[in-house]
Structure 1
Amino acid sequence: MIKNKDIQIRDPFVFTDVNSGKYYLFGSTDKNIWGKGVGFDYYVGKDLEHWEGPFQAFRPNERFFSEDNFWAPEVHEYQGKYYMFATFMSKQSRIRGTAILVADKLTGPYQPHSNGPVTPNDWQCLDGTLYVDQDGIPWMIFCHEWVQVGDGEICAIQLANDLKESVGEPQKLFNASNAPWPTSFQHERFPNQKNYVTDGPYIYQTNDNDLLLLWASFVDNVYAQGIARSLTGKITGPWEHEKIPIYQQDGGHGMIFKTFEGKSILTLHAPNKTPNERPIFIDIVEQDGKLIVQK
């Protein structure tokens, strides 16, 4: 068994599997996370502290379109199969985007499903996540990166029902600077403007059916986890931002899942420094329509 303190992982994603009564922890697991990609691993446990693994979830073959920047895998059950949304950098174009993999079992092995990224071909993108709306229409929420646009964006694009490709044009939900809490930084690529990061969007529906969007950015160069709320209950918004982050101790790229006992848990990685990043699990409750961290 291995404990959380011994697991180097970024962008943790937990799948609560009622069939096995176990939690499956996926994430960016390459030791050299900023370089050549090995693939994605997962861990299996019953108490969110002790895990078995790592086990292989995905390994690319020589024909795969990417060989580095394997980031932020999420696994979603959809129409009887398991789909992994993950970020990859193209060998040819050197553009990052989210592609979709598929498996018959939660444990994989995952194989390419989409024909490369389903994000726009000329956009630098990352961190795609699945959301199926009240009409059963699948959407992908993703980041249009600050490295291309300066003021990072969170966008949504409709997917085909088989999740093989996107449909129509992406819609911008908001810029990072629309929220009151992120702070800007200067960069030589955009020397005459303020730059803001958007990372790790994840959709969460409250007990009152409010639609929330978790996403990460920086406060004075410290990684932080924020929350936005759709004023219409629809993925297209408009979105209203919480005034302060729910977590700002150099951790982020979070998601929320339910335990087998019905508790809500926020998981994210902290600190945001390689190779020290570890999975963090935080109890949260809904209070007056907001998510509150349990001390």
Structure 2
Amino acid sequence: MRNRNEIQIRDPFVLPVPEEGVYYLYGTTDRNAWSGPGTGFDVYRSSDLERWEGPFPAFRPEEGFWANENFWAPEVHVWRGRYYMFASFKAEGQRRGTQILSAADPLGPFRPVTDRPLTPPDWECLDGTLYADRQGNPWIVFCREWLQVTDGEMYAMRLTEDLTEQAGEPFKLFSATEAPWVRSTTYEMPGREAVYGYVTDGPFLFSTAEGELWMLWSSHGDEGYAMGIAKSASGEIQGPWIQEEEPFFRRDGGHGMLFADLNGQLTLALHCPNRTPDERPIFYPVRAEGETLMLSEEAYRTISYSGG
């Protein structure tokens, strides 16, 4: 067993399984996710969000798997009675993309449902997530990376029922700079010119109690890596998407998602702080207040102290 604060993980995604009385925790678990060969993804299991069994190997690439680096941000969704993992991968000389894997059990093993990502092959894409519209049709919502387009973009694309093919063309939901809180960032690599731009990361879609469609997503703000909320004015994936003026989570942490804990409490999962190797999974209750979600100032103080 491991305590939560002993688990190094980025982009945490929690899958509650009420019939088992447990949570499964997935995320980017390679020690350094930006360099070196990709190992795979681990999963942890807990009944209280604090003490975790594992890690268990949820995914390990088999011989012939196309990608060998940047194994990022796995999410696991239940779809038509099976567990589907959406995760980002890259290989030397090939664009980064989101691929879908499946398993009969939350622990895996997860195996690809196609031999290549479903995101456009000539785009640098990442952080795909599953969304089911009001008619029950599946969509992938994903980011087109700022390193390719400077002003990062968010896209949606309809999928076939079995999640193996695209059922429509990708269409743009918004760009990073449409959110007033977003600030530029710079990426530097040895021997290369620094790259400047605006990040889109980690979309997570959810419906409010009033039936509105909202999205959590991450970028950089005044206090570092942060998360904002976008709202669909139509209530449909097509939008138009309206950005909140201020970030929902503003300080040195992000790539979050929401889940209902086993007592029904709406809970935010994110990694914090944003620096490697110190990132840890953080869970905080959130509440609806007016037209937005709120995180308490006490939570911010705790995050600030625990993040060092």
* SS in structure 2 at match of 1:166: coil
Is contact 1:151–1:194 with CA below 8 Å preserved after alignment? no
Task: Give CA-to-partner distance per residue, 1:105-136, whole Å, 9 cap, x none.
Answer: 11110011123100000000000000000011
- In the other structure, the counterpart of 1:85 is 86
Alignment of 1:2-151 (within 5 A): 2-35=2-35, 36-91=37-92, 93-151=93-151
Q: Tell me, yes or no, if structure 1 residue 201 matches structure 2 residue 203.
A: yes
2:142 maps to a residue whose letter is: F
**1:21 CA drift (Å):** 0.6
Is contact 1:115–1:164 with CA below 8 Å preserved after alignment? no
Could you tell me how far apart the structure 2 residues matched to 1:188 and 1:262 are?
Answer: 43
Could you tell me how far apart the structure 2 residues matched to 1:107 and 1:248 are?
Answer: 33
The aligned length equals 293
Could you tell me how far apart the structure 2 residues matched to 1:97 and 1:281 are?
Answer: 28
1:282 maps to a residue whose letter is: Y
Match of 1:251 among 250, 253, 269: 253
1:136 maps to a residue whose letter is: G
Task: Name stretches of at least 5 consecutive residues in structure 2 with no aligned partner.
Answer: 299-308
**1:167 CA drift (Å):** 2.1
Hey, which of these two has a bigger chunk of strand by percent?
1
Match of 1:218 among 217, 220, 229: 220
- In the other structure, the counterpart of 1:176 is 176
Q: Tell me, yes or no, if structure 1 residue 281 matches structure 2 residue 302.
A: no
CA RMSD across the alignment: 1.8
2:46 maps to a residue whose letter is: G
Task: Name stretches of at least 5 consecutive residues in structure 1 with no aligned partner.
Answer: none
Could you tell me how far apart the structure 1 residues matched to 2:105 and 2:43 are?
Answer: 13
2:240 maps to a residue whose letter is: P
- In the other structure, the counterpart of 1:233 is 235
* SS in structure 1 at match of 2:235: coil
Deviates more, 1:177-186 or 1:74-83: 177-186
> Moved runs in structure 1, 4+ residues, more than 2 A?
185-189
The TM-score normalised by the length of structure 1 is 0.95
1:179 maps to a residue whose letter is: A
* SS in structure 2 at match of 1:168: coil
Distance 1:221 1:65, change over 3 A: farther
2:16 maps to a residue whose letter is: T
Could you tell me how far apart the structure 2 residues matched to 1:179 and 1:188 are?
Answer: 24
Task: Give CA-to-partner distance per residue, 1:62-97, whole Å, 9 cap, x none.
Answer: 210111110000000001111000000034x33100
1:71 maps to a residue whose letter is: W
- In the other structure, the counterpart of 2:301 is none
Could you tell me how far apart the structure 2 residues matched to 1:115 and 1:240 are?
Answer: 36
Is contact 1:115–1:165 with CA below 8 Å preserved after alignment? no
* SS in structure 2 at match of 1:41: strand
Could you tell me how far apart the structure 2 residues matched to 1:170 and 1:64 are?
Answer: 25
Query: What is the aligned-residue identity percentage?
Result: 51
**1:186 CA drift (Å):** 5.3
The TM-score normalised by the length of structure 2 is 0.91
Could you tell me how far apart the structure 1 residues matched to 2:253 and 2:141 are?
Answer: 21
